[in-house]
Amino acid sequence: MGFLLPTFDEATERRFDVWRASRLNDALLAPVAIGGLAMFSFLAWDWLLDPTQFLACLLIRGTGTIIMMACAWKLLRTRATPLQLRWLGMLAVSAGTVSIALTQFLLQDGFLYGPAGLALFPTVSAVVVTRARQVPLLNLPGFAVVVALLLLKGVEGFALFNVIAFVGTGVFASGILALALERTARCGFQLELRLEEQAHIDPLTGIANRRRLEQEARDEVERARRFNRPLSLMIMDLDHFKGVNDRYGHPFGDKVLRTLADLGRANLRQTDLFARVGGEEFVVLMPETTAEAAAQLGERLRGLLAATPINDGEHVVTVTVSAGIAAHGPDAPTMEALMAMADKALYEAKAQGRDRVVIGPGGVG
């Protein structure tokens, strides 16, 4: 069914399952509880069809209702994982289908007059699955019990056809409904992913913004602390950028920013995070990197930018960049401390004449 549905990579598919399960967890409490009560209310139908079996039907429907209410209680009290939600859904749907099938088995001509009831829970099973392909599996226990009871009862002819037609129609309708619901959910999730990406991307340069940097930096700092691994941070600031803007105009200044962003994208490693955090200020977060290795990378970017004339058709200008580097350690144990130390190093680079890379307060790379 992939051709009918938006698809994602493996990691994003797992995120989708968790995302969908979270929303189903909130939405299923009322339907499961109401379904249990609705099934119990059909005791009136049992009485009208065969009063002699009322107590047995009361026991069967009461047990099914209790199981479904227990599922609803579980949904209320806990946040179910996708796998837990699948088992809860199977239990609730099976309890409903089996309860109805057992009462019809006991009642005289129950399978003849009540097959529509057997289609109820297979049909609504569409709302309790995270994926449409789970519908047949979800209904398998209930369907197996229905088949077993039909064989025990010796149902044949029109009554047998009627039951199979209603149950099959219920499962088929559930599959179609589940497919539509999954498609809607996937489109909604896809939109959230786009909005999430936009919230973490600098619109001018297309690289990460300050929000994403802060989120990922805290995780990397914690990882470096926990496993005693190297981590470096570099702040880069374009030299005399205000003068470039004033002399050549803001569109040219934007081209300068995009040029540095493109050079960073092309030359940084996949594990590095490159972000624009202010007007002409950029940050590179480098896991598993010592200050010396970070300085080498900074020198490379600095040299590439200095050797890249920026041409907008009217002007050809060469710009430079200064950089300050800080390494995670006792003197910089947090994201804030890393930024402050790198900022001091950047200030030192500016003070020494710009167009250079400085490691730590006072140390020249």
What SS3 state is found at 341? helix
Asked if 310 and 253 count as a contact pair (C-beta separation under 8 A), the reply is: no
Which residues, including other chains, have CB under 8 Å from residue 328's CB and lie 6 or more apart? 221, 224, 225, 230, 231, 232, 233, 338
State the helix-helix crossing angle for 115-124 and 29-41, rounded to 10 degrees: 170
Cα within 13 Å of Cα(146), Cβ side:
30
The DSSP code for 52 is G
364 three-class SS: strand
**Active site (annotated) includes residue 280:** yes
CB 171 within 8 A of CB 135: yes
Whole-angstrom distance, CA of residue 6 vs CA of residue 121? 28
Q: Tokens standing for 219?
A: 């995780």
CB–CB of 266/308 below 8 Å?
A: no
Give the 3-state secondary structure percentages of the chain, helix then strand then coil, rounded to 5: 70, 10, 20
Which candidate in 182, 196, 222, 280 is catalytic? Answer: 280
Q: What are phi and psi of 298, to 5 degrees?
A: -60, -40
- From first CA to last CA, the distance across the chain in angstroms is 56
Strands (E), the chain: 231-238, 273-276, 281-287, 310-311, 316-317, 321-327, 357-359, 363-364
Residue closest to 26 by CA, chosen among 128, 126, 125, 174: 128
Side-chain-facing half-sphere of 266: CA atoms under 13 Å: 10
Active site amino acids: 280
